[in-house]
């Protein structure tokens, strides 16, 4: 017993391992590394899916037009509702969304329907419409228009074919709570039937012939004027108040169907009027001083009459008119032969008043009224270098055949004592630069080109002495002297050949 307690515990060998043993294997570390690889793979898959989604469903830029405001929004799928929600824009009944797409760009435009309130036949009808004309809005409200009926839009009379006020075709608006347009239809009264003599004779002898309409209940009057069936024959004898109503309506003035053309607006209506001036008064038409009408004002109104009113306006309009300047030809010896140069003139200004006549807003005539000259035109010049076929003035005959030292082509003009700087009676009157008196045979030259004291021969003039100068004598210019009593225009200005004698 004691020995068994002292016996050592036997060792337990580990179970044999199949395959190659793992040296230093740690299960916990292995689990951590495996989980990390799985997370990385999952993130890679998510990234690939995001890239694929952007390829398949790219973000689109959407431009939303709302009235005079443009809103830019971004939409993943380019959905219309998504863009409207992003712009906080609600659609009302009758509104229409116009869509245009190109690439990753999209444009949305909201075309608003206009609220309209139609009052006709005692009923109030509210609709929203995008109709262009008044007739379109009435058709949407199931309101029919008959002959003689009147239509008012916001209190102004109009025709069924006119554009609906406040609604422009294709309007794109951001407002959905605009004030509704008010359209009112006023029905034309039916023709008053002619009562026969039998019905008239059946009335009591003491009955009133034309009782006042106020004596009849208002509801009865409305039913007779609006409901055509009220005029059907009554088999039984009518009540006394209805008999009085028949007589009162029969006493009303007869209504005739006519056509009126007021300032280009044509309308056909039934009206109770005896004369043309009464028609104009009922239509609130006042004729001006120059307005014209197709019939005399006291002409009787008959069925199917057509009354035309032309609104004539005469005004005085003012404008500036320009007067073209006159262009004169003039020889200029400073230009080369054949050269032409234009010196522009200045147009004149005239303030013009004209009486303009407009018929129904269109101009039909324009008549002069008055004019005021503000400035006269300043003439211009077309300068040319004068030259004949031989290069010499054609009126000068070159007949010199004597001796000479040099032949020059010069521009020759003429002058006398009155062309000088000193007035008559002055000591310097008629005295040349060299101090000799001006007379025939004395010429002015430019000393830099022809020295003073030079003698030369001028064909058509004769021998001349260079004894004077002048401010306008430059280069190969000469001024031929003449006595004061010589006939006017003694020399034809132009080019000429001169012959220097010494």
Residue 137, phi-psi category: left (phi > 0), alpha (psi -120 to 50), beta (remainder): alpha
List phi, psi (to 5°) of 243: -60, -40
List phi, psi (to 5°) of 284: 55, 45
Instruction: Find out whether 193 and 254 touch, Cβ atoms under 8 Å.
Output: no
Each residue of 127-179: pLDDT tens digit?
888 788 888 888 888 888 888 788 888 888 888 888 876 544 444 443 445 67
Each residue of 191-200: pLDDT tens digit?
545 444 444 4
- Give residue for tokens 């989980």: 35
Instruction: Find out whether 259 and 282 touch, Cβ atoms under 8 Å.
Output: no
Q: What average pLDDT does the segment 48-65 reach?
A: 62
Q: What is the pLDDT of residue 452?
A: 94
Q: Helix, strand, coil shares of the chain as percentages rounded to 5?
A: 20, 35, 45
Q: Where is average pLDDT lowest: 18-32, 54-68, 152-166, 323-337?
A: 18-32
- Of residues 106 and 126, more confidence is placed in 126
Q: Where is average pLDDT lowest: 168-182, 236-250, 314-328?
A: 168-182
- Of residues 110 and 11, more confidence is placed in 110
User: Mean pLDDT for the chain?
Assistant: 76
Each residue of 379-413: pLDDT tens digit?
888 877 665 544 444 445 677 888 999 999 999 99
Considering 221-230, 304-313, 485-494, the range whose residues carry the highest mean pLDDT is: 304-313
Task: Spell 426-437 as b/e; 16+ CB within 10 A means b.
Answer: eeebbbbeeeee
Helix axes 218-226, 240-250, angle to 10 degrees: 50
Query: Any idea what DSSP says for residue 378?
Result: B
List phi, psi (to 5°) of 237: -65, 130
Q: What is the pLDDT of residue 390?
A: 46
Please, what sign has the CA dihedral across residues 404, 405, 408, 413?
negative
Query: What's the pTM?
Result: 0.33
């Amino acid at each position: 017993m004691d020995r068994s307690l002292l016996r050592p515990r036997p060792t337990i060998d580990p179970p044999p391992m199949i395959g190659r043993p793992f040296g230093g294997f740690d299960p916990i570390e292995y689990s951590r590394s495996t989980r990390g690889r799985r997370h990385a793979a999952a993130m890679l898959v998510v990234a690939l899916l995001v890239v694929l989604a952007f390829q398949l469903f790219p973000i689109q830029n959407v431009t939303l037009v709302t009235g005079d405001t443009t809103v830019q929004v971004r939409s993943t799928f380019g959905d219309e509702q998504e863009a409207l929600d992003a712009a906080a824009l609600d659609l009302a009944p009758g509104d229409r969304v116009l869509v245009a797409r190109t690439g990753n760009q999209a444009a949305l435009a909201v075309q608003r329907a206009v609220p309209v309130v139609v009052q006709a036949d005692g009923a109030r009808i509210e609709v929203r419409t995008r109709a262009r004309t008044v007739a379109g809005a009435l058709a949407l409200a199931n309101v029919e228009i008959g002959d003689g009926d009147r239509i008012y839009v916001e209190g102004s009379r109009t025709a069924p074919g006119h554009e609906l006020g406040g609604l422009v075709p294709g309007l794109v608006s951001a407002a959905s709570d605009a004030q509704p347009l008010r359209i009112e239809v006023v029905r034309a009264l039916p023709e008053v039937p002619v009562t026969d003599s039998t019905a008239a004779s059946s009335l009591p002898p003491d009955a009133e012939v034309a009782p006042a309409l106020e004596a009849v209940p208002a509801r009865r009057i409305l039913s007779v004027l609006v409901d055509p069936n009220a005029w059907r024959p009554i088999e039984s004898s009518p009540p006394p108040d209805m008999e009085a109503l028949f007589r009162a309506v029969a006493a009303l003035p007869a209504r005739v169907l006519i056509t009126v053309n007021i300032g280009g607006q044509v309308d056909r209506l039934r009206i109770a009027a005896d004369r043309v001036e009464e028609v104009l008064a009922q239509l609130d038409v006042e004729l001006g001083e120059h307005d014209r009408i197709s019939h005399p004002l006291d002409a009787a109104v008959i069925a199917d009459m057509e009354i035309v009113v032309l609104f004539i306006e005469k005004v005085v309009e003012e404008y500036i008119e320009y007067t073209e300047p006159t262009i004169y030809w003039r020889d200029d010896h400073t230009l080369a032969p054949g050269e032409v140069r234009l010196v522009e003139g200045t147009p004149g200004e005239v303030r013009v008043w004209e009486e303009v006549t407009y018929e129904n807003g269109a101009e039909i005539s324009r008549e002069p009224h008055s004019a005021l000259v503000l400035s006269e035109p300043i003439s211009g010049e077309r300068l040319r270098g004068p030259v004949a076929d031989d290069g010499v003035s054609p009126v000068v005959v070159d007949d010199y055949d004597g001796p000479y030292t040099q032949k020059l082509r010069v521009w020759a003009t003429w002058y006398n004592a009155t062309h000088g700087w000193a007035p008559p009676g002055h000591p310097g009157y008629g005295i040349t630069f060299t101090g000799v008196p001006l007379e025939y045979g004395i010429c002015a030259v430019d000393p830099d080109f022809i020295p003073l004291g030079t003698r030369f021969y001028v064909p058509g003039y004769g021998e001349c002495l260079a004894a004077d100068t002048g401010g306008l004598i430059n280069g190969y210019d000469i001024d031929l002297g003449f006595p004061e009593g010589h006939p006017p225009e003694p020399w034809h200005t132009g080019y000429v050949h001169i012959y220097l004698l010494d």
